[in-house]
């Protein structure tokens, strides 16, 4: 029996669709975990920007920390004219400061509906820890968010910042709720730092089981899909 190929959301990020064998299965909820400076925000903005300019798929950026001006300014460092995308209703940036998960969820749903968005970024997801006292409550509510996104047809990325020496779980979101987990590494090797990416899991698709080097260039993130990390650093 042949398993049907899932519909895909092409990220547009150079090299990422290759290591996912064709992109993120549509409507998946993906967690991107990485330490500071590993490239999480850059990858998320690239996902939204290329979604708009290459595939005409509107996207929503929910910021739980930074202002709209800070995010737009960061995007401009790579030549991404986010302001033009916002004027054309292809990208929306919303800063949410209310620590009420139901209000956050309603804001997300309203903004996706307003733009007819197909892509969503929530950054940084670690702020979810301020919304809940109990881990069980967190899992249930975040699971309800994932179900809502699938119902309205949106592929989503949530970022998770981890420390340099250990992984911090988002209340088990990676293990129990997310359809996919990407790990961004920023590893010190002798006198330099090496950036890399690995796909821990991705429901509905074959994935690369290797670590691949990352380059952050003036045009954004580029994943060297045809190279393995330890080949690159020799």
Tell me the H-state helices in the chain. 16-19, 40-55, 68-76, 82-87, 101-115, 135-152, 229-232
CA 8 to chain centre: 15
Q: What is the pLDDT of residues 38-50, one digit of tens each?
A: 899 999 999 999 9
The rounded distance, in Å, linking the Cα atoms of 118 and 155 is: 6
Candidates 140, 154, 160; CA nearest to 200 is 160
pLDDT of res. 28? 95
Q: Tell me what percent of the residues of the chain surpass a pLDDT of 70.
A: 90
What average pLDDT does the chain have?
Answer: 88
Phi and psi dihedrals of 17, rounded to 5?
Answer: -65, -30
Whole-number Å distance between alpha carbons of 232 and 234: 6
Question: What integer pLDDT is reported at residue 194 of this predicted model?
Answer: 85
DSSP reduced 3-state for 89: coil
How much is the average pLDDT of 223-230? 82
Lowest-confidence segment of 7-11, 140-144, 218-222 by average pLDDT? 140-144
Give pLDDT tens digits for 161-180: 875 445 455 555 655 678 99
DSSP code at position 136 = H
Q: What is the mean pLDDT of residues 130-140?
A: 79
Mean pLDDT, residues 126-142 taken together: 79
Q: How far apart are the C-alpha atoms of 181 and 59, rounded to whole Å?
A: 20
| pLDDT above 60 for 98 | yes
Q: Which domains does the chain have, with CATH numbers?
A: 25-182 (3.40.50.300)
pLDDT band for 135, please (50, 70, 90 cuts).
confident
Task: Tell me whether strands 220-223 and 212-217 are parallel, antiparallel or unpaired.
Answer: antiparallel
Q: Are 22 and 8 in contact (CB under 8 A)?
A: yes
């Amino acid at each position: 029996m042949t398993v049907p190929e899932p519909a895909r959301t092409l990220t547009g990020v150079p090299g990422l669709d290759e290591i996912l064998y064709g992109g993120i299965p549509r409507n998946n909820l993906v967690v991107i975990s990485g330490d500071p400076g590993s490239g999480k925000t850059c990858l998320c903005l690239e996902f939204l920007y290329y979604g708009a300019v290459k595939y005409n798929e509107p996207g929503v950026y929910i910021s739980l920390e930074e202002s709209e001006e800070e995010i737009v300014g960061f995007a401009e460092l790579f030549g991404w004219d986010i302001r033009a995308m916002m004027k054309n209703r292809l990208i929306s940036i919303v800063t949410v400061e209310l620590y009420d998960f139901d209000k956050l969820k309603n804001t997300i749903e309203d903004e996706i509906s307003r733009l007819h968005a197909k892509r969503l970024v929530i950054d940084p997801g670690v702020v979810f820890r301020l919304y809940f006292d109990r881990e069980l409550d967190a899992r249930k509510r975040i699971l309800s968010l994932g179900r809502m996104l699938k119902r309205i047809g949106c592929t989503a990325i949530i970022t998770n910042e981890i420390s340099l020496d250990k992984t911090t779980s988002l209340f088990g979101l990676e293990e129990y709720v997310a359809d996919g987990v990407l790990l961004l590494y920023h590893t010190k090797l002798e006198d330099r730092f090496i950036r890399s990416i690995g796909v821990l899991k991705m429901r509905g698709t074959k994935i690369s089981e290797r670590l691949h080097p990352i380059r952050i260039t003036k045009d954004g993130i580029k994943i060297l899909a045809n190279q393995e990390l330890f080949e690159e650093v020799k």
